[in-house]
Structures are given as C-alpha cells and as structure tokens.
Structure 1
Amino acid sequence: MSSWQLAPEAVGTADATRLRRDYYDEVASRYWKRPATSAEVDQGLADDGAELLTPPTGQFVVGRFDGEAAACGGLLMLDTERAELTRIYLAPAFRGRKGADLLLELLENEARLLGASRTVLNTRLDLVEARGLYVRHGYREIPAYCTGPYVEIWYGKDLSRAA
C-alpha cells in the first residue's frame, strides 16, 4: 500500500534543498512563461530567509511518498499570533494523491505548536491549483498584509476554530 510520511526537516538537507529548488523553478517558470535557468533559481533562493523556517521562528516539513521526497512546505512566525505558510510544493508526479491535504494539516498543527492562532499566506492569481487547495481547507481572502512583486492575493485561516 502506498502512503505518505510527513515530518519536520531542516531546510538544508539534500531532499529539502531539492524540493525548494523544484518549487522555485516551477513558480518562476510559470511566472515568466518559460523555463527558469539554474542561475535564476539560484538567485531566487539566495537570501530567501529559509534559515528562519526552524523553531521558534518557523518550521519546515518534507513529505515522502513511499520513501521518496515529494512535497515540502514551511511556516514563518510573523508575530505571536500569525504564522505565514510559504513554499508549499508538491512534485507534479505526486499530485492527486492527497499529499497536499496532509501537508497543510501538518503545517497548521506545527503553527499551533509554535503558538499561532491564525495562518496567513500570499500567492499569485495564476497559481490556481494552490488557491483551490487553500479555499478547500477553509482559507478565505483577507486584506493585504505584505507587498511584493509576486504577491497578488492573500488568504487567512483562524486555527482556533479549525483544530
């Protein structure tokens, strides 16, 4: 029987690094409407703040399907109440197998463990699959809480009601 195993993992492991690269490659390529170069991926990952995705400032998780690293996601504590979800990624070959649902559930639980009562996230309008996932899990559009060149829509979820 095929199954998922998800757990916190340091962002610097080989699997976490590969998944973060794959995430950035996919979102950059979709944005630019062409394949991102290795140099562009390197530049995007340079100084991206991933070192903060460890307690007490955050958390990073990796999901494995039958032992193969296939998903990742992080959360960053913005303040004492809000955790921002970031770098949510599921490798294309593993989509449609409920890994994204499990990934979100684990990240929300990790956010609670760090003291968050609310999760927030930002994304782009063209990432329709991600937006659909968030809405299915109870995320609702919220006012902007940050700005950036790749930020077009913001979502939030009250964790105290969604335990």
Structure 2
Amino acid sequence: MSWTFEVTPVDHPDAAQLLREYLDEIASRYYERQVTEEELDVLLEQQHSRDMVPPTGAFLLARRDGVLAGCAGLRVMTPGITELKRVFLRKSERGKGGAALLVAAAEDVARGLGATLIRLDTRDDLVEARALYARLGYETVEPFNDDPYAHHYFAKSLAPAVPDRV
C-alpha cells in the first residue's frame, strides 16, 4: 500500500471533486440528512478554498496506490501561523493509515510556507477527527476564531524541517 501526496491547484478537477465530497459529507453529517445539490453548490461558494494556493496556502491531494483518496488544505493566517482545513479521506480509504500520513504531509507543506505553528478547529460531532489530532500531538487551545461551526480548537508547534544528510 503506497500513499503519495502532492500540492495541486485547488481548481484542478480532482481537487474540485474531493472538495465537493468533503462538503457533502460534512454538511450531511451536521444536518443529519443528505444535503441537496443546490445546498452543496451554495456551501462550496460560501466555504470556498480559492486562497489555498501559494503563497497564501496550499491544497494537497492524497492517492493510495495511484487512486485519488483524499485531500487537505492550508491557509496562511499570519506569518508563522498556518491553519489546517478540509482534511478528508474517502470512506473507502479510511482505516488504512492515510489520515496520519496526510496530516504529516500537510505539516511539511506548512513548514515550507513558513509556519512554525499549525492550528485547526473542528466540530463536536467529528469525534474521529478530534481523536486523530490528539494522537498526532495537537493540543487543545483557546478559540482563535468566531466560526459558529467550530467547537474545538487545536494547535501544534512545527519544528523546522531537518534537511536530509548526504
């Protein structure tokens, strides 16, 4: 089982597809019903990811054995602080170790964007995400935004990348 991660333009068709799947799942879970295509279109515009491009951010695609599996986004909030967003694996790809690898890849990209701190927020109902972040060393912090859908806030210091030795 081989996982690969690549920074991809957020408007690439694969990125657009995964963002749609992500918002479909996250909104349907929140509303406890399947959202309509019209609702999803509105959410995609409201929760846009257009700024997840260098130098203001980045968008990563995850593939397992060459098959599109998930995504993660980054937004530079201030110099040194980057926010992790849109972490998602397709249901068929969960439980295979990809989530931790995806977050680690996003952390590496955040370092490349100059981050020394990465932070995120999540909802009460996303218990799996909260468990993942805690397992990966993210610590609970005070709220850093007023997002009505954010209930839990996490942050992690990012040590500088260590260059490979030759």
* Contiguous gaps of at least 5 residues in structure 1: none
Partner of 1:56: 55
Which letter maps to 1:149? P
Structure 1 residue 160 displacement after superposition:
2.1
Partner of 1:83: 82
Partner of 1:24: 23
Matches of 1:65 and 1:31, distance apart in 2:
28
* 2:111–2:161 contact (8 Å) kept in structure 1: no
Which letter maps to 1:75? L
Structure 1 residue 48 displacement after superposition:
2.7
* Contiguous gaps of at least 5 residues in structure 2: none
Structure 1 residue 41 displacement after superposition:
1.1
Q: Which moved more, 1:44-53 or 1:10-19?
A: 44-53
Partner of 1:131: 130
The two structures have a TM-score, normalised by structure 1, of 0.95
Deviations 1:113-138 (A, max 9, x none): 01010000001011011111101110
Which letter maps to 1:64? R
Q: Which moved more, 1:41-50 or 1:93-102?
A: 41-50
Residues 1:88 and 1:69: Cα distance change in structure 2 (over 3 Å): same
After the TM superposition, list the runs of 4 or more consecutive aligned residues in structure 1 that deviate by more than 4 angstroms.
none
Partner of 2:155: 156
Alignment of 1:4-153 (within 5 A): 4-153=3-152
| Partner SS for 2:78 | coil
Structure 1 residue 47 displacement after superposition:
4.3
Structure 1 residue 50 displacement after superposition:
1.1
Matches of 1:23 and 1:48, distance apart in 2:
11
Count of residues in correspondence between the two structures: 162
Structure 1 residue 148 displacement after superposition:
1.6
The two structures have a TM-score, normalised by structure 2, of 0.93
Q: Which moved more, 1:74-83 or 1:64-73?
A: 64-73
| Partner SS for 1:129 | helix
Matches of 1:162 and 1:66, distance apart in 2:
26
Deviations 1:60-114 (A, max 9, x none): 0000112211110001000001100000000000001111111100100001001
* 2:111–2:160 contact (8 Å) kept in structure 1: no
| Partner SS for 2:28 | helix
| Partner SS for 1:51 | coil
